[in-house]
């Protein structure tokens, strides 16, 4: 059974590792961006561990039999709109329903805290097809598409 643990149960580097492994296939499409992505993910890990009472409280690590398999973060500063940040599951655990369970968990967290809507941005690149399917399965509706640096970005919204 999947468990959702807070950052205090882990050492620095866990967030960076989970994102890096989960997005490895995407990096293969854009090898020239690898260093930029790695630096961004390293900073995300550092920010969470350096700010345990704020950023560190706005995430969970998904575990199966105490093994980290995924990561989800959010931004609390936009109340009553909640923004999902990172959302990833390690490749060996993808296509098994864990991504959907992870999104259902975050929806429950937001609903329990009286947020009115949730937004998330993902990509239109083929790499993101599974994520888009999960969001749509969980009731998110596409709102708009904008041009990102490497591909179009798709904004989804779910009203609670």
| Tens digits of residue pLDDT in 100-130 | 999 999 999 999 988 889 999 999 999 999 9
On the question of pLDDT at 46 being above 90, the answer is yes
CATH number for 2-159 (one of 3.40.50.920, 3.40.630.30, 1.10.10.60, 1.10.1060.10): it is 3.40.630.30
Query: Kindly report the CA angle at 103 between 100 and 105, in degrees rounded to 5?
Result: 110
pLDDT score at 113: 87
Query: Kindly report the CA angle at 124 between 78 and 119, in degrees rounded to 5?
Result: 15
Q: What is the pLDDT of residues 17-36, one digit of tens each?
A: 999 999 999 999 999 999 99
Which residue, 54, 45, 46, 27, is CA-closest to 86? 45
**Strands of 44-125, DSSP E:** 59-64, 67-75, 81-89, 117-123
pLDDT score at 24: 96
The mean pLDDT value for 85-89 works out to 95
Of residues 77 and 45, which shows the higher confidence score?
Answer: 45
What are the residue ranges spanned by the domains of the chain? Answer: 2-159
Rounded CA-CA distance 84/99 in Å is: 13
Phi and psi of 20, rounded to 5°? -55, -45
């Amino acid at each position: 059974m999947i468990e959702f643990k807070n950052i205090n149960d882990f050492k620095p580097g866990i967030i960076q590792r989970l994102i890096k492994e989960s997005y490895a296939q995407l990096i293969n499409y854009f090898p020239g961006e690898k260093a930029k992505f790695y630096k961004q993910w390293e900073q995300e890990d550092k920010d969470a561990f350096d700010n345990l009472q704020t950023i560190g409280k706005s995430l969970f690590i998904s575990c199966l039999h105490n093994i980290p398999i995924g990561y989800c973060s959010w931004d609390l500063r936009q109340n009553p709109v909640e923004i999902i940040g990172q959302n990833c599951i390690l490749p060996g655990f993808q296509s098994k329903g864990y991504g959907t369970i992870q999104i259902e968990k975050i929806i429950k967290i937001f609903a329990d805290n009286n947020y009115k809507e949730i937004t998330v941005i993902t990509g239109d690149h083929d790499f993101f097809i599974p994520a888009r399917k999960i969001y749509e399965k969980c009731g998110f509706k596409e709102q708009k598409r904008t041009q990102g640096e490497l591909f179009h970005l798709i904004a989804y919204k779910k009203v609670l």
